[in-house]
Structure 1
Amino acid sequence: MTLTDIARFSVRRASGHTPELELPPAGHFIGGSFVPGSSGAQTEIVDPTTGQSFASVAEGTADDVDAAVAAAVRAQPGWGATTPKERSEALSKIADIIEASHAVLEALESANTGKPQSVSEDDVSSAVDTFRFMAGAGRALSSLAAGDYVAGHTSVILREPIGVVGVITPWNYPLLMAAWKLAPILAAGNSVVLKPSEQTPLTTLKLMELIAGVLPDGVLNVVTGLGPVVGARLADHPDINLVAVTGSVGSGKAVASLAGSTVKRVHLELGGKAPVLIYADADLAAAATALRTAGFWNSGQECGSACRVLVHESVAEEFTELLVREVSTLVVGDPAAGADVEIGPMVSEAHFARVAGFLQRALDAGITAAIGGRPLEGPGYFIAPTVLVNVPAGAEAAREEIFGPVITVETFSDEQEVIRRANDTPYGLAASVWTSDARLSMSVPRKLDFGTVWVNSHLVLANEVPWGGFKGSGYGRDLSLYALEDFSRTKHVMINHSA
């Protein structure tokens, strides 16, 4: 296969006047209102389509975290004493507010992250559904039935709030990952101090502005700032009972290490490098069409992205041609350039350089870009959608999380080989299997060491089912009733009634 001219892709730019954004207040949200940061320092927010700053937020300090935690500690007993019905009503109200404000939130999300409109729209609608699901799920938790498991003693299992939860959310899904954490944490009766990514805090702050007054003051707090300062203080603060992170493996390791000093619980949803196993009997056209979305959603800045294809050698050429044809139709551009834009920029200059570095090293090592393979010209942080072929087993591009619009293609010859190679990764978040063989569809997922395994689909999520990984991808589960269990604690009460 020959290198496709990357001139196929160009960046569509917005033309004409773009509507003015409804920016949130720039301070921290502590104790029910926005307050200035204690240091007065600001973090500039950059538009990744241009590289230009367009807003700023407070750069938090350990003192700001301490103030937020103190507010959460004061508020938690009262919130934890509310009934599931009362908490459900609050979460339902938050869902209604997000839905009513969807246009404002979508515009902010796209401006801050560079996301295409379709991705921001999906994020906001998914956030609404997350709060609505947890509003109901929080009223339906069950435990071991009360009973006399020892003669003369009745055992009752109580489910209680953990207390104060620290949350650290990532830059790729700032609003949605906040919803994934906040909804079950609040439904379980906890109070929260949340640190959004310093790169993409705007929709989180806007959400605080929109829902101020729905929850008692201090139940939900947000401190903006840098990971080594704000994140580190959340991780080692003695009054925080659990810290939950969605982010990189490095961030998760750092938080877990700091959390160990106070023996607090840790909930980690970290990176991924999802293998896509395509057997010879798979519907190759359907797989290629699915990977057009699953491999490039959110410009590949997605921890469950279908980014590492392992295709049987007998159909590798046919599948790769189908995949490249699908990828060649992707529309790259500024999210303000039209609703049909599918690929936006990388979130920051640093991440752009990181992805570009992966591509250059792959090309230097003799790997072929069947399409794409380079940054795109002009302002902003755009990378051409890329399919790397002739990728040898163990290559950096096939093992490390590139986190950009890049799919690698490797070949395999037999079932044992592909399972071994699929599992030969430090990550364990997600994978998919493509086959028309009923035996393979049942047996292969059991052998794959990943928290989610799709069969003949990829990157399909629902609030009713859990999301989370194994190995370097962390532990703990988001979504579903399992998240509610993770963010609560069980207490056994045994009553002696034999006397």
Structure 2
Amino acid sequence: MTTAEKTLFTVLRADAPPVPSLPPFGQFIGGQFVASTSTEKVDVVNPATEEILTQVPAGTAEDVDAAVEAAVAAKDAWAATTPRDRSAVLLRIADIIEANREVFETLEAANTGKPAAVAEDDISSAIDTFRFSAGAARAYSTLGSDDYAENHTSVIHREPVGVVGVITPWNYPLLMAAWKIAPVLGAGNTLVLKPSEQTPLTTLKLAELIADEVPAGVVNIVTGPGRVVGNRLSEHPRVDLVAITGSVGSGQKVAASAAGSVKRVHLELGGKAPVVVFADADLEAAAKGVRSTGFWNGGQECGAACRVLVHESVADKFTELLVKEISEITVGTPGAEDAEIGSMISKAHYERVLAALDDVRKDGHTIAVGGRAIEGPGYFIEPTVVTNVPAGAPISSNEIFGPVVSVETFSTDEEAVTRANETIYGLAASVWTKDSARSLNVPRKLDFGTVWVNSHLVIATEMPWGGFKGSGYGRDLSSYALDDFSRTKHVMYNRG
């Protein structure tokens, strides 16, 4: 162990707050919790303590079929409601989450190991997503009705696609469910949602609390492994669109499975966000920005500021500032005061991140701070900065999805753009500069769905979120999300 690799971090541990009432055991189908056709169960673990919180059913294809039938039975009546009526339901869901904020925050923290500040932000953002979608559902814009051919009047109808299958990830369980449920319902669809089998609690709790507010069959939740539940959703002939937030590999499987029935697919996949720091940038602001956004949610964030490209003339100064910032990060269990990052989501993911750090050592890169597991219960890893990373190194392109940031250098603006774009991902990036011309020109050349200038990971519900290339296609948030879960029909009337 080198001097830089000596353990600097300890876990701030606090007594876990009592877990609020857990959701009922079963699948949520047709407006109520029902028994699964499987007797198998999945343990739901608190990754900060390694304690089992509860169990949920390991669902089956038959469970999915029942949920899809319920969604199909409900879709015509729900599609026939007015935008105002659907908006009222979404606003009521937002109010229910707000009224039960403490329940959701505590459940989310216990199920994911998130610090309180991250869990609070997740729940606030979920509430905002429902409220925004409630307004957007009433404010579609489309081509005006008119004569575009002689003596023929054209009208554009915007219709729901029908039944939407949704697969959500473990890093933001309730928030990613909200990102899908709100626009899917706002556009007039019904849905069947599979939460991650590791983190289903807040999604199931939401179903329990909104059961009397949403017509039976409009929202259905089936828990279970992706290879069974997710695959059946993707291939099901009566599911009209399938939307997933997950890894590139998961997205590829969903798209391939969906191709059999030629259904639409909405993919929000991984990322490896470059942070391009030019010589004229405010280096202290950039270092603080990477501290807060490279390690947000323990780095388990597809838009995390995890790959820094810094101009060679300021690389030493920036790295010094960054290492100082990261050395001051507090690691803690949910409930620990001022904890900035928590645990990895599971033992398997914890081991994957540690294996990636072993590869970093084998590749000869410098671990300037962190790089080790933290002793004690829970799946905690030290916040880590890797330096002396050459062009083309695996760490520059492989998504680690943990508390690891790499630093590499560039010489010219052209090299910075080329290197930033040399990744299969195209989700997010940021540019740090005081030069106004550069701040306008460089983002246009970066092949990413979101590019920030002098900030990172600032998300507004009104603005679209989604990527290019391996990061998928389709847009979450904004009115574009409602477009994605709609279809347009052209009706032309002959007046001749």
TM range (shorter): over 0.9
2:257 alignment counterpart? 258
Shift of residue 213, structure 1, vs aligned partner = 1.2
Q: Does 1:324 align with 2:311?
A: no
**Which of residues 410, 413, 423 in structure 1 aligns to 2:411?**
413
Given residue 414 of structure 2, which amino acid in structure 1 is its aligned partner? Answer: Q
Shift of residue 5, structure 1, vs aligned partner = 4.6
Matches within 5 A, 1:80-479: 80-338=79-337, 340-479=338-477
Q: 1:148 to 1:471 in 2, by over 3 A?
A: same
Shift of residue 20, structure 1, vs aligned partner = 3.6
Secondary structure in structure 2 of the residue aligned to 1:397: helix
Given residue 93 of structure 2, which amino acid in structure 1 is its aligned partner? Answer: I
Question: For the Cα contact (< 8 Å) 1:3–1:369, is it kept in 2?
Answer: no
CA distance in 2, matches of 1:18, 1:371: 32
Question: For the Cα contact (< 8 Å) 1:387–1:409, is it kept in 2?
Answer: yes
**TM-score, normalising length: structure 1:** 0.98
Secondary structure in structure 2 of the residue aligned to 1:263: coil
Given residue 302 of structure 2, which amino acid in structure 1 is its aligned partner? Answer: C
Aligned length: 495
2:49 alignment counterpart? 50
- Alpha-carbon displacement from aligned partner over 1:180-206 (angstroms, at most 9, x marks no partner): 000000000000000000100000000
CA distance in 1, matches of 2:21, 2:316: 49
Q: Which runs of 5+ in 2 are unaligned?
A: none
Secondary structure in structure 1 of the residue aligned to 2:332: coil
Question: For the Cα contact (< 8 Å) 1:6–1:384, is it kept in 2?
Answer: no
CA distance in 2, matches of 1:416, 1:332: 38
CA distance in 2, matches of 1:380, 1:274: 27
- Alpha-carbon displacement from aligned partner over 1:369-425 (angstroms, at most 9, x marks no partner): 111011111111100000000011111111100000010000001111111110000
Question: For the Cα contact (< 8 Å) 2:115–2:336, is it kept in 1?
Answer: no
**TM-score, normalising length: structure 2:** 0.99
Q: Does 1:7 align with 2:13?
A: no
- Alpha-carbon displacement from aligned partner over 1:55-113 (angstroms, at most 9, x marks no partner): 10011000000000000000000000000000000000000000110000000000000
- Alpha-carbon displacement from aligned partner over 1:262-311 (angstroms, at most 9, x marks no partner): 00000000000000000000000011111111100000000000000000
1:74 alignment counterpart? 73
Task: Tell me whether 37-46 or 123-132 shows the greater mean CA deviation.
Answer: 37-46
User: After TM superposition, where is structure 1 displaced by more than 4 Å over at least 4 residues in a row?
Assistant: none
Question: For the Cα contact (< 8 Å) 1:157–1:493, is it kept in 2?
Answer: yes
CA distance in 2, matches of 1:238, 1:299: 38
CA distance in 1, matches of 2:240, 2:19: 41
Secondary structure in structure 1 of the residue aligned to 2:479: helix
Question: For the Cα contact (< 8 Å) 2:19–2:106, is it kept in 1?
Answer: no
Q: Which runs of 5+ in 1 are unaligned?
A: none
Alpha-carbon RMSD: 0.9
Secondary structure in structure 2 of the residue aligned to 1:407: strand
Secondary structure in structure 1 of the residue aligned to 2:28: strand
Q: 1:200 to 1:381 in 2, by over 3 A?
A: same
